[in-house]
Chain A
Amino acid sequence: MNQWFEANSLAIWTIVVGILCNSACAILGCYLVLRRMSLLGDAISHSVLPGLAIAFLMTGSVSGWGMAVGAAVLGVLTAFLTQAVHKLAEVPEDAGMGVVFTSLFAIGVILITRVASQADLDPGCVLYGLIEFTPLDTAPLLGWEVPRAVQTLGPVLLVTIAFVTLLWKELKIVSFDPALAVAMGIRVSLIHYLLMAMVAGVTVASFEAVGSIIVIAMLIVPAATAHLLTDRLAGMIGWSVFVAIVSAVFGYWGAVRWNTSVAGMMSVVAGLLFATAVVFAPRHGLVSRFARRLRLSLRILREDILSRLYRAEESLTTITPKSLPNATRSRWLALMQLKRAGQIERSPGGWRLTSAGQTIAAELVRSHRLWETYLATRLDLPPDHVHSPAERMEHYIDRALQEQLARELADPHRDPHGRPIPHATIRAEVTVE
């Protein structure tokens, strides 16, 4: 065990650093995504750069509290300036944000290249970071040699968790219903700026180790993925942390496999997870949406076939597949489903309703004709205008609505076209008796 750890300590520590940083970002990212402020996170992670440079100039070191304070100040400043430019100068909010963060970033780049380039702080390092080298820079902790990045990011993650736990209720209300939050006396703007300061703090703590690219990716991608997978805040945070961890592990693996940037690979893995969620998420994914739509259209088609057969039998004409609703591919599927359910059967030259099918079809036709009558008598629509709305509506009229319609129309026997309205069927179990 110990030997295995020794042999793989570089990989393990890199992954640990990745997990710590990604999780902290992912947790905060949930609130950004929910509040539709993802891009403010992006902006802040760019614009903390001058804060870093100034703190470096003042303290002469690339780590420590000076940097954290400098970054937090710049983070809050970015959020504040974006608001100020939007409100005072009446610039659209996204454009204002663009002006603010690019300007601050530009100041940061110039400060760093002109003043701080002799130290180990350069724009490239800040952008991509060198997470793979973090395990080499260690310091003793409780008798162990623990990478410095773990000693920074560990507490950062703990502070993030503490922040979210302590302000759980406030953050939740502010995220979902800011107006309610104001009415309840929660100080929305204080919470907002605290969140921005946290984002800036996490950003800067991660910078040193992993670079800003991964911070931006981890602030947005895991939360956006989680948002597709669940409708509950706690679940969303859980999923986003899961995505963060998986990205850290497989990002490292992929980067080693193809000898490339770890930070970049972690964002790519997160992107792949996001793409998977977009396609396969249980409720909000593309596949399940498509399936839902397909099921609905098949049900409508089945019901259309039943009511068409009912009308044909009513007028004593036989019906052939040709005269059924016009959707060739799904029509066959719908017919098979109806046959399997025992609602229709083959007849010479076409199909006819079984008695079970007749019951259901009568219900549908009753709904249809009741709705026609309602439109004609209550909304004064001419009889030739009521068929097509009723054709759409019949699929959504349940028994309760049907009864209400019958009551309000005093149980009519004929629809506006003079055709009989089928009687309300007595419940199936009674007919069986």
Chain B
Amino acid sequence: MTYNTILVLVGVGLLGAGAGLVGSFAVLRRQALLGDALAHAALPGLCLGFLAVGERNLFAMLLGALITGLLGVGLVAVLRNKTRVREDAAIGVVLSVFFGAGIVLSRLIQNSTTMTGSKAGLDSYILGKTAGMIAADVMLIAGVAAAAIGLVAFLFKEFLLVSFDAAFARVQGWPVQAIDFVLTALIAVIVVIGLPAVGVVMMAALLIIPGVTARFWSERMSRVVVLAAAFGVAMGLMGTAVSATYNKMPAGPVITLVGTAMFAFSALAAPRRGLLARAWNRRRDIWQADYAEVLRFAYEFEEAKAVRGLAEFQRVKSWSPHRIRKLLSETLRSNDATFAMSPGYSLTATGRAKAIDVVRRNRVWRRLVSDYPDLVSLARPLTNESPAEYLPSLVVADLETKLVAEGLWPTLSPEGVR
């Protein structure tokens, strides 16, 4: 690796970390696409910066980009707050008109005869290009990114407060508007310094993907932010490495696709919030509910002194034969029931204790629907959840008394099952 390669990697790594940090706040504040608008709105500023200095000077160009970018975000806010234009349309208008203006200016620069030479290399800002960056540019990017990271660390608590509950922060006397502006300006700074490496279109990806991906792995914002920074670094480094190794691999798209892969993996495999984990938990919940139902039916069959073979269980609920066989064999395996040819499945002592619980809950829920029609919206008759957790205790007590009086309240004593 040459010195320049290492420098580029460090620069892009810091950029990724910064983007991950501020991006997770942007995602939290539902401003994900504001970053996209910002990146597009920065284009005319790049050109104006070039026109102002008359040569390719990254600092001037990025300053111009920052100014028009912030102007664009400000316009979105004004349109949203003061006119009939809604936020999505405001973002779209600013994004497309500013970008159109940027194209106009960049074509002006390219067509003008007075300014020859590299023509600012404006095209590389659309899709990003890490390979051609010179050391001084990388230093600038890395320095600004590092400063932004430091500022986020310093103002972390303030940003958190304003992002989660701006109204509360205002009541507490925090300068919400100032904090809000600093955060937006930080997002703008990161977006702008990202343009040379990642490009206008894909900057949104570097901003959004780390934050969204980190969200799958933790519920705590402090951890989400650190993880997002790490994901941002990974995106930047891996993307740049791949882009530098292979021919015809623009940096921006590769960085984006590295992020997409991380996002897809996290969305699937993250513990607790991943799709697989949630599907597995759902399966387990349904199984537990079904198992409780089986115990209830077993009890109610015994109560009615009915035959209780496989066919009977199958008749009372639309379980598949395979499902009911699995559920019943589970009752035998966990010693909740025994089986004899006649009368079929009988609950054991432990099984009966469990079943009585289920039956009680079920009867309270069902009775609630008929006796307290006002409270129907609270009823959860198809679950095995405890009524006491959802209903006023007076109501539960009343329903219990009624059920006891009618002999429908199962007890552990032998006469519970006649």
Contacts and interface: CB of A to CB of B under 8 A. Distances in A.
A109 B84 CA distance: 36
A219 B86 CA distance: 15
Contact of A106 (B30, B126, B252, B267): B252
A103 interface: yes
A109 B198 CA distance: 13
B105 to A, nearest CB: 8
Contacts of A91: 212, 215, 267
Contact of B107 (A46, A261, A271): A261
A106 B275 contact: no
Contacts of A42: 92, 95-96
A127 B238 CA distance: 26
Chain B, interface residues (CB within 8 Å), range: 35 or more
Contacts of B99: 213, 216-217, 264, 267
A124 interface: yes
Contacts of B35: 98
B231 to A, nearest CB: 12
Nearest to B279: A88
Nearest to A224: B89
Most A C-beta atoms less than 10 A away, residue of B31, B211, B263? B263
Contacts of A36: 86, 88-89
Interface in B258-317: 259-260, 263, 267, 273, 275
A98 B85 CA distance: 21
Given A102-B205, A106-B254, A227-B85, A213 B249 contact: no
Interface residues of A, number: 63
B65 interface: no
B206 to A, nearest CB: 9
Contact of A266 (B79, B100, B126, B207): B100
A11 interface: no
Given A94-B32, A99-B263, A110 B97 contact: no
B181 to A, nearest CB: 21
Given A213-B99, A220-B92, A107 B30 contact: no
B100 A106 contact: no
A216 B275 CA distance: 33
Given A38-B88, A106-B253, A286-B82, A271 B97 contact: yes
A331 interface: no
A89 B126 contact: no
Interface in B91-107: 91-93, 95-107
A268 B104 contact: yes
Given A95-B27, A95-B211, A260-B108, A271 B92 contact: no
Contacts of B96: 42, 213, 216-217, 220-221, 267, 271
A95 B100 contact: no
Contacts of B108: 258-260
Nearest to B90: A224
A39 B201 CA distance: 14
A103 B123 contact: no
Interface in A101-129: 102-103, 105-107, 109-110, 113-114, 117, 123-124, 127-128
Given A227-B84, A284-B84, A264 B100 contact: yes
A52 interface: no
A282 interface: no
Contacts of A92: 27, 30, 32, 212
B89 A98 contact: no
Given A98-B33, A102-B202, A221-B97, A110 B257 contact: yes
A89 B267 contact: yes
B256 interface: yes
B111 interface: yes
A42 B94 CA distance: 12
A383 B395 CA distance: 45
A263 B101 CA distance: 10
A261 B122 CA distance: 14
Majority secondary structure of chain B interface residues (helix, strand, loop or mixed): helix
Interface string A260-280: 110111111011001000100
Nearest to A109: B253
Given A37-B88, A114-B249, A271-B101, A95 B202 contact: no
Contacts of B263: 99, 103
A407 B92 CA distance: 55
A270 B168 CA distance: 40
Nearest to B258: A106
Interface string B211-249: 110011000000000000000000000000000000011
Contact of B91 (A39, A110, A113, A267): A39
Nearest to B128: A109
Contacts of A128: 103
B359 interface: no
A63 to B, nearest CB: 23
Contacts of B275: 88-89
B33 A94 contact: yes
A97 interface: yes
Contacts of B249: 110, 113-114
A128 B15 CA distance: 28
B253 A107 contact: yes
A259 B108 CA distance: 7
A33 interface: yes
A33 B89 contact: yes
B205 A103 contact: yes
A223 interface: yes
Interface in B189-210: 201-202, 204-205, 207-209
Given A91-B215, A95-B212, A265 B89 contact: no
Nearest to A217: B96
B18 interface: no
B85 A90 contact: no
B202 A113 contact: no
Interface string A363-382: 00000000000000000000
B264 to A, nearest CB: 9
B197 to A, nearest CB: 14
A85 interface: yes
B103 A213 contact: yes
A228 B215 contact: no
B336 interface: no
Interface in B1-35: 27, 30-33, 35
A216 B91 CA distance: 11
B313 to A, nearest CB: 34
A98 B210 CA distance: 12
A99 B92 contact: no
A49 to B, nearest CB: 10
Contacts of B209: 98-99, 102
Nearest to B82: A286
A105 B202 contact: yes
Kindly list the 6 A-B residue pairs having the minimum CB-CB distance in the complex, ordered from nearest. A267-B100, A271-B97, A264-B103, A106-B253, A220-B92, A102-B205
Given A42-B96, A102-B205, 17 more contacts: A103-B256, A105-B256, A106-B202, A110-B257, A123-B127, A219-B92, A224-B89, A228-B84, A228-B85, A261-B107, A263-B100, A264-B101, A266-B100, A270-B97, A271-B98, A278-B83, A284-B83
27 contacts: A39-B91, A39-B92, A42-B92, A88-B275, A90-B273, A91-B267, A96-B212, A98-B33, A99-B205, A105-B256, A113-B248, A113-B249, A114-B248, A127-B126, A213-B99, A216-B95, A216-B96, A220-B93, A220-B96, A223-B89, A263-B100, A264-B101, A265-B100, A267-B99, A268-B101, A271-B100, A278-B79
